[in-house]
Amino acid sequence: MMDAIAALLAFAASHPRLLVLTGAGCSTEAGIPDYRDAAGAWKRSEPMRFQLFVADALARKRYWARSMAGWRTMANAKPTSAHRALAQLQALGGVELLVTQNVDGLHGAAGSVDVVDLHGRIDTVCCLGCEARTPRAALQQELTRRNPAWVGLQALSAPDGDADLEAQDFAQFDVAPCGSCGGVLKPDVVFFGGMDAVAGPMIRQMKQLGITSKFMGGDGICSGELPKLAGGAMVDGQVVCAEAGG
């Protein structure tokens, strides 16, 4: 372990303009579960996919019922030592660009700036109709108002604000529509199964930062695309990844 730390410190010292890509391992210490084990196998059932969410009203009810139970974990999560260290490194000028696959917003909470939230943010809700964006905390209040009988249900936390809530009649859960147009609300994150409605806003965010971006389908990006994502932020193709697992 000490050899690995020494190698990382030496790498950072010799490459003053780092692109840092983080993943689930940065946030597990904050109490946010990850999807996969060290071997890459699913720890629980496969998460919601975009196509199912859009096509199936019952699937949306199940998603938001579980999200109502799981939101507490995301809302109360605090930055970890990894988040704070990266924020300090950026403040010292050692990080040119911070890209995260996480949706928890903890890099920003730790003080990092201009973070590229590659998979969106769970603290925001978007309408699939009019594209209006509203705070997830406000939706939590509305879901609680509409579903008082579900408030006391207990369930183990799952990744990205989900919860292992089962054996319920999800057809009875009242899902709030968009307050502006009555459309379908969705968390402003990328679901498994493809780069869905959040891809456009992420591309716009990266363009604002002067980054040439290319989004790929599937569960994420492959390492060969990182130079394209980084634009001028990379030096000699060097990338440091702060993900410890997940």
* 119 is annotated as an active-site residue: yes
Which three-class secondary structure state does DSSP give residue 59? helix
* Catalytic member of 15, 83, 107, 119: 119
Q: Which amino acid is at 112?
A: S
Distance CA 52, CA 47 (A): 11
Q: Which amino acid is at 17?
A: R
DSSP 103-167: -S-HHHHHT--S-EETTEEEEEEEETTT--EEEHHHHHHHHHHH-GGGTT----B-GGG-B---S
> Is residue 242 within 8 Å of residue 20, measured between CB atoms?
yes
Per-residue CA distances from 222 to 92, 116, 212 (Å) = 29, 16, 16
Catalytic positions: 119
